[in-house]
């Protein structure tokens, strides 16, 4: 398994470098815009969008290889051992640990041990006199 993960990592790095090179040597769509305003012969404002040339197809194939390698590395990088004490995280969370009930001191219901009493609430600000929606006069 380690050999396959290393092989995927090498293929991913090579595909990333090739993809960077392919993107850098491609002719941008914005470069044809100046040609359409009089300095060249372009078919439309942003060039022909329907046709895909060799560089764009190679870039998409390289991106596909890159993402497949990324998924493979994520699969091989995840541990596959079963957790102790159950098969699910929820099953482990539902069972209290041994001796956990003895560690919590007895307290009155609703009282947090060691907490200071809450300060009294501040009185509410009275509503201004007058009708609702009316601007109060100064």
Mean pLDDT, each 10-residue run in order, the chain (138 residues): 91 96 83 58 51 86 96 88 64 61 58 65 68 73
Domain with 15, as residue range(s), is: 2-46+53-77
Report the Cα–Cα distance between both ends of the chain, in Å, rounded. 81
Confirm whether pTM is higher than 0.85: no
Q: Is 62 exposed, middle or buried (0-12, 13-18, 19+ CB in 10 A)?
A: buried
Nearest to 75 by CA among 137, 4, 124: 4
pLDDT of residue 132: 73
Tell whether 124 is covered by a domain.
no
Tell whether 117 is covered by a domain.
no
Residue 135 in tokens: 């601007």
Count how many domains the chain has: 1
Tell whether 14 is covered by a domain.
yes
Tell whether 68 is covered by a domain.
yes
């Amino acid at each position: 398994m380690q050999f396959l993960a290393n092989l995927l990592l090498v293929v991913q790095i090579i595909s990333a470098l090739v993809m960077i090179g392919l993107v850098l040597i491609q002719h941008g769509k914005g470069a044809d815009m100046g040609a359409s305003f009089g300095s060249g012969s372009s078919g439309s404002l942003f060039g022909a969008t329907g046709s895909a040339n060799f560089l764009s197809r190679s870039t998409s194939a390289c991106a596909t290889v890159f993402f497949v390698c990324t998924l493979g590395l994520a699969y091989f990088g995840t541990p596959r051992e079963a957790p102790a004490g159950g098969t699910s995280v929820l099953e482990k969370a539902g069972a209290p640990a041994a001796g956990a009930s003895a560690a919590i001191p007895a307290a009155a219901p609703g009282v947090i041990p060691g907490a200071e009493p809450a300060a009294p609430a501040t009185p509410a600000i009275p509503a201004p006199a007058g009708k609702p929606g009316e601007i109060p006069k100064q």
